[in-house]
Amino acid sequence: MSLTVRPATSADAPELAELLNAIIARGGTTALERPFTPERLDATYLTGPDVLSCVVAVDRASGRLEGFQTLIREDHLPADWGDIGTFARVDGIQRGVGSALFAATRDRARELGLAAMNAEIRADNTGGLAFYGKMGFEDYKTDRAVPLGDGTPVDRINKRYVLDAPAPSEVSRERSVGQ
């Protein structure tokens, strides 16, 4: 894998809007349904006032942005929680984009002194559910039959990652170091 992870900037907005709009157009995973202009993406997820952290994964060889992960404030969450969103290219050939991004977001969330991260995932998004489960998120709440734009009801699974608990990978690393 040859990825670099760095903070997102406003200059990334056009490429990331294209990346996210391809996921929205494909449908079936994200709850987002309206395409983003670069300006709205920047304000909402990259550098706007409610953005706690946003990182991008860059392919070292090509310089192409392979994915991004954002952590934002949401009024419906406790003040010391962030709401996470992760998006990797639909036509990506790199593996491990989401996990590389998560390592950086988790570090940043700890630096910020956050208590937990929330991931709200469509119940039919098996890949997203598996991804956050693998990162150490645990289910704690289900919002039933939240309608999509066309009225189709879809449950939303809320998973949380408590930040004072080390991640499973960190626990196993600490154990093997201590052995």
Ligand X SMILES: CC(C)(COP(=O)(O)OP(=O)(O)OC[C@H]1O[C@@H](n2cnc3c(N)ncnc32)[C@H](O)[C@@H]1OP(=O)(O)O)[C@@H](O)C(=O)NCCC(=O)NCCS
Residue with CB nearest ligand X?
127
The answer to the question of residue 20 lying near ligand X (CB under 6 A) is no
Burial of 162 (0-12, 13-18, 19+ CB in 10 A): middle
The answer to the question of residue 130 lying near ligand X (CB under 6 A) is yes
Task: Return the number of the residue (86 or 105) whose C-beta is nearest ligand X.
Answer: 86
The answer to the question of residue 33 lying near ligand X (CB under 6 A) is no
Task: Return the number of the residue (26 or 179) whose C-beta is nearest ligand X.
Answer: 26
The answer to the question of residue 22 lying near ligand X (CB under 6 A) is no
The answer to the question of residue 154 lying near ligand X (CB under 6 A) is no
Show contacts with ligand X in window 80-99 (CB under 6 A).
Answer: 85-88, 95-99
Task: Return the number of the residue (100 or 114) whose C-beta is nearest ligand X.
Answer: 100
Residues that bind ligand X (CB under 6 A): 23, 29-30, 85-88, 95-99, 121, 125, 127-128, 130-131, 134
